[in-house]
Chains A and B, each alone.
Chain A
Amino acid sequence: MKVFIDNKEYNAKPDETIIELCDKIGVHIPRFCYHKHLSIVASCRMCLVDIEGVKYAQPACSTPLREDMRISTKSEKTKSAQKNSMEFLLINHPLDCPICDQGGECELQDVSLEHGDDHSKYMQFKRVVVDKDISPLISTDMTRCIHCSRCVRFGEEISNVKELGLLNRGEDMKIDVFIESGVTSELSGNMIDLCPVGALNNKPYRYKARTWDLKQICGISPHDCIGSNINYHTYNNKIVRAVPFENLAINQTWISDRDRFGYEGIYSNDRLDKTLIRENGKLVELDFDSVSSEVNNLIISNIKKHGRKEIGCLISGQSTSEELFLFQKIFKGLEISNIDHRTKERDFSYQKSFPIMPSLGCNIDDLHLYKNIILIGVNVKTEYPILSVRLNNATKGNSKIYSFNFSSLDENFPLYYKKVIDDNNIEPLLNTNDLGLDNGETLIILGPLISRLPNQSNILKKVHDFSLLIDAKVGFLAEFCNSTSGWLLGNLPHRNLGGSTSNIIGKNSYEMITEKLSTYIMYNLEPESDFFDKTLVEVALKSSECNIFFTSYITPMMEKYADIIIPITTFAETDGSYINIEGRYQVFQPVVQPSKDIHEGWSILNNISILNNFGDYTIDTIRNELEESLKKIDFSLSAIDIDSIDASNMVEDNVIDKFTRDTYDTDMIVRRSESLNKVSLSKHKPSIKNITNEPKNI
């Protein structure tokens, strides 16, 4: 279809709106209510453009292009229509830009400079709106609101939890909540970005800096395996704010509140900034220059003293791929086979027949292509908020979503079927007749809660059999942001870098802890919270002879039992990379510099590697080797294929205290975010109903 924009010819797709085409070809049209991921309301009237042969200027956001349409985005008619809308909008907008956090990045400010008049003819009183406390994360200045309704539509259409509404009408219209502190959605922070003016603001960021003083660096979410892209804003070498970085394949233009405010955890009071070594029962500071040799000596001397089988090496799946690479490089090089990153699990009978890595089984962008999506042991709303956006979208198409959990949990997208199951008896859930599956492709997604069960192997086997029966794919969601790398890069007792089988099968994390070894090396792990059982970990650490911690935070158990504690960088202070649950490899740079005695984790590991003649790496040579090894992987093996399970290895224990994974307890950093902790405290059960199709079974 041929159309003309400012006298230049373009080819438009059927149903394409004027604004869509203009955005594509880079012709700027001002807008407030329009957002490409929200429904069109065409109410702000900022995008009015002059269409040849049409009496009044028309909204570009809602007007579809027609053959031979001629649009002038710069004519007098366009300009005056836009100027008029601007004038109306400013009538009731306070002119408090100097004290507004949005100043400098305000769409209203930008547009009014460009399209507004230099002075207003409005002489009457301005509307004033009383503010309410709506959330610990969002501050409001509702007098600034221009009623674009983006925040309301976000709740209706994207997060699918409508918490903000448009009350009253006409000039009295205002955005408000039903109850004080009523905004509890795990995606609420996106409304801050959506708000084109300073009505909804980032509360923790309030008055921290002026936008023009900020530096911006892109990072990857360290809090879940989705791999959302995040822009960090820094001021004086400190992160003051995080906003989404658009990646249409992953997070689109959204991020979860966890990704937005999680960074606060890096400024926690228990951040460790000196190496500490135990001398005469007391922890004392150690000069950085002697750290690597000191650690290495401890390791080597303990190997000599007790043998390799007495050393247990544990690393977190939140570590970067570079750290995970060097960690196994060193310890496998030292012929230690007790290596594991699966610290939340306790039943490993499944491991031999497990895929090369846990994988979602499809691209995030393709989820909507599945007719049936069966969720088992996962609460997407709280655990993977960004994914809930995709699932919600899938339900608007042809997908039906089924949910099986150990307790009754709400999702923020419509469930076709919902059932509470018993972890000891999941047979009833796998009854196809009952489900009413649609013809078409089916995807089963298992959450990390399953992996934490003492009988996970058994469940995996049953799910595997079931998947064959209904011809479904099985996908996984992982515990940490980089659990995938934990698997791929061989931080496992039974597999090496690239997934090849080890000659000697070492102890898994459960065995390491319960069999009380003489030496523990814990990398980036919090003994109190990152294991399947805190008390067993304490028993192990207490009885061992030597405990070495690489960590960003010092915890009470470390203080009590460590022989040496080496401070390492967090995700924000290091070069690194994560592999997300689709298998997407994403690298990132340091956002800020760590304090002087904290060093990048990989470089400390590299020093130990050098001491043992395993090589001297740079970040680039690590990545080269890592990528080289990934190339050899046969990813077709990534389908789950469990023939039989070695039942003799199964753990008998029923100490499952809870069947939920708290949103803001997923990792060390999030746990320390002050703002997110406030949310956890203020959270009351939202009583909002989201399930449009009444679930058949509860």
Chain B
Amino acid sequence: MTIKLCTETFGMQEPDTLKTYIDNQGYQAWKDIINNQTPKSKVIEKIKDSGLRGKGGAGFLTGLKWSFIPLIDGQKYLVCNSDESEPGTCKDRDILRYNPHAIIEGMLIASYAIGASVGYNYLRGEFMDEQWKIFKQALSDAYKERLIGKNILSSNVTINLHALIGAGAYIVGEETAMLESIEGKRGMPRIKPPFPAIKGLYGKPTIINNTETLASIPKIMLNKSGWYKSLGIDNSEGVKMFCMSGHINNPGNFEVPLGIPFSELLNMAGGILNGKKIKAVIPGGSSVPVVKGDIMMQVNMDYDSISEAGSMLGSGGVIVMDESACMVSVLHRISRFYYSESCGQCTPCREGTGWLYKILTNIVSGHGTQNDLHQLERIATQIEGHCICALGDAAAMPVRSFLKNFWTEFEYYVDKKESMVS
């Protein structure tokens, strides 16, 4: 059971063109707003009612976030977060290349609702060759139709949208680091509060939303109130794109109602590779805790169920591992990532991620000890909750959950100096 929101044009002929988008009711919601001069508060109200939760990782209620924008006049900004770099996540990339106009329309509606006259879509540097070009083309087509720019459709509304490109830094996906990056600086997260809605880009009120979040907006606006909500379940309203990767037969993006059983999702992705047994799942991008396969098979894909299973829905990057996966090596690889991506400002993250990685390197090269395992546990606990942004936690959570769920496998590795699965 898939629902086509962000993925509507996927698989069509020339999915990224303005024509295809318009043929599928594209820009209708935006034109309605412009023509009816819909009050901003009404737009925000509708998004609030829909229950839409941010798809970037934290699952924060989008309408609520928008309502934090001060009502006073003055420059405000909208930022679309297309930095997609959480390992296991590859949904925004497909929206960018197959349905760019949905993002643009979503950005327009969001800008309108919060009173921003300028919006930026920040794409990660690695999207330079394909997604960036497509998105820029889409922007320029929409400009030509006067859907963006000065005096949009002769309405006196002015909203300019620009495409920006990053240059390789996972941390820039963190919203305040992204603002720093847009300001032309190192991508180092800021201290919160003040939150971006109060003091964001160039010190002005700013809303940052994920690509998928914004691409969902047009359809929500176009449909009746209650429609989006009805697709999902309580507290996990609507739909979500899940990026299925790892040991499965049919990796891909699946846009499904929130709350569907994981097993069903796994089926859609063709089941486990070569009919092997499922061992573990990281359900929301590499920074969330790992869950044992058999437990995961009982879990539904919604915020609460996954949280009960001890993990998080996160960005929707579902990494599936079968019995051949060596948990020590997987954790080693994950911790290498956070070690290399720490921006370096917070002491626990800068020094701690390196320490974790070095210990794990020791272990996989056969020099680990039992004590090392306890050290890993201890260091992770010391990092957790003690940093400016969540990268520190993102580095700590996998370590703690891998150890907790697969302790014997780690013990085996340090005792036998080799992996339990090889």
Contacts from A to B (Cβ < 8 Å): 40-46, 48, 55-57, 62, 81, 84-85, 87-89, 91-92, 121-122, 124-125, 146-147, 149, 166, 168-173
Q: A43-B347, A170-B354 are in contact. List 15 more A-B contacts (CB 8 A).
A: A46-B347, A56-B384, A85-B347, A89-B351, A91-B351, A91-B355, A92-B351, A146-B347, A168-B344, A170-B339, A170-B342, A171-B339, A171-B350, A171-B351, A172-B344
Nearest-CB distance from B164 to chain A (Å)?
A: 20
Q: Which of B339-384 contact A (CB under 8 A)?
A: 339-348, 350-355, 358-359, 362, 375, 382, 384
The answer to whether B186 touches A166 (Cβ under 8 A) is: yes
Bound: A138/B186 CA distance, A: 26
Closest residue on chain B to residue A81 by CB atoms: B386
**Known A121-B375, A170-B339; contact A44-B355, beta-carbon cutoff 8 A:** no
What residues of chain A lie closer than 8 Å to B358, measured between beta carbons?
124-125
Bound: A149/B387 CA distance, A: 16
The interface bits of chain B over 302-346 (1 if a CB of A lies within 8 angstroms of the residue's CB, else 0) are 000000000000000000000000000000000000011111111
What residues of chain A lie closer than 8 Å to B382, measured between beta carbons?
84, 87-88
Q: Which of A41, A88, A168 has the most CB of B within 10 A?
A: A88
Nearest-CB distance from A20 to chain B (Å)?
A: 15
What residues of chain A lie closer than 8 Å to B203, measured between beta carbons?
none
What residues of chain A lie closer than 8 Å to B344, measured between beta carbons?
147, 166, 168-173
- A-B CB contact pairs (8 Å), 7 listed: A40-B191, A87-B382, A88-B351, A91-B355, A124-B355, A170-B344, A172-B344
**Neighbour of B348 across the interface among A42, A88, A146, CB < 8 A:** A88
**Neighbour of B355 across the interface among A41, A122, A169, CB < 8 A:** A122
Nearest-CB distance from A39 to chain B (Å)?
A: 10
What residues of chain B lie closer than 8 Å to A146, measured between beta carbons?
347
What residues of chain A lie closer than 8 Å to B386, measured between beta carbons?
45, 48, 56-57, 81, 84-85
B169 at the A interface (CB under 8 A): yes
Main SS at interface, chain A = loop
Nearest-CB distance from A51 to chain B (Å)?
A: 12
What residues of chain B lie closer than 8 Å to A87, measured between beta carbons?
382
What residues of chain A lie closer than 8 Å to B375, measured between beta carbons?
121
What residues of chain B lie closer than 8 Å to A124, measured between beta carbons?
355, 358-359, 362
B388 at the A interface (CB under 8 A): yes
**Neighbour of B347 across the interface among A89, A121, A122, A169, CB < 8 A:** A89
B270 at the A interface (CB under 8 A): no
Bound: A87/B388 CA distance, A: 18
Nearest-CB distance from B369 to chain A (Å)?
A: 10
Bound: A56/B388 CA distance, A: 12
**Neighbour of B388 across the interface among A42, A57, A166, CB < 8 A:** A42
B39 at the A interface (CB under 8 A): no
Q: Top 4 A-B pairs ranked by shortest CB distance?
A: A56-B385, A173-B344, A88-B351, A170-B342
What residues of chain A lie closer than 8 Å to B388, measured between beta carbons?
42-43
The answer to whether A149 touches B345 (Cβ under 8 A) is: yes
What residues of chain B lie closer than 8 Å to A62, measured between beta carbons?
191
Bound: A82/B387 CA distance, A: 13
Closest residue on chain B to residue A54 by CB atoms: B385
Nearest-CB distance from B390 to chain A (Å)?
A: 12
Nearest-CB distance from A253 to chain B (Å)?
A: 23
Nearest-CB distance from A615 to chain B (Å)?
A: 64
What residues of chain A lie closer than 8 Å to B191, measured between beta carbons?
40-42, 62
What residues of chain A lie closer than 8 Å to B354, measured between beta carbons?
91, 170-171
**Neighbour of B350 across the interface among A40, A121, A147, CB < 8 A:** A147
What residues of chain B lie closer than 8 Å to A89, measured between beta carbons?
347, 351
Bound: A44/B345 CA distance, A: 7
The answer to whether A169 touches B348 (Cβ under 8 A) is: no
Nearest-CB distance from A609 to chain B (Å)?
A: 63
The answer to whether A170 touches B355 (Cβ under 8 A) is: no
Nearest-CB distance from B111 to chain A (Å)?
A: 28
What residues of chain B lie closer than 8 Å to A166, measured between beta carbons?
186, 344
